[in-house]
Amino acid sequence: MTTPVNAPNGTPFSTKSKVVAGILQILVGGVGAGRWYTGHYGMAIAQLLTCGGLGVWALIDGILFLVKDDRTDSEGLVLKS
């Protein structure tokens, strides 16, 4: 089975993976690793300064990366599965 060329919203998929972003966020979310990976630098700095919201924000964010299909990178492209 091949991966579709375009996301459901019609734009091409990002070169970034939602699985990689989710795992990074769960494992090292205290420094905003998943957000650094996707290019959301403002959010990454906020997570770095709050230690990932004392871990809670980072964990929830990582889970959302893994289960939602509409997460985007900094260019607005949907992350590939």
pLDDT in tens, 19-56: 999 999 999 999 999 999 999 999 999 999 999 999 99
What is the pLDDT at residue 1? Answer: 47
Its pTM stands at 0.84
pLDDT in tens, 48-72: 999 999 999 999 999 999 999 889 9
Distinct helix (H) and strand (E) counts, the chain: 5, 0
Per-residue pLDDT band at 6 (split at 50, 70, 90): confident
What is the pLDDT at residue 30? Answer: 92
Q: Label residue 7 left, alpha or beta by phi (over 0 means left) and psi (-120 to 50 means alpha).
A: beta
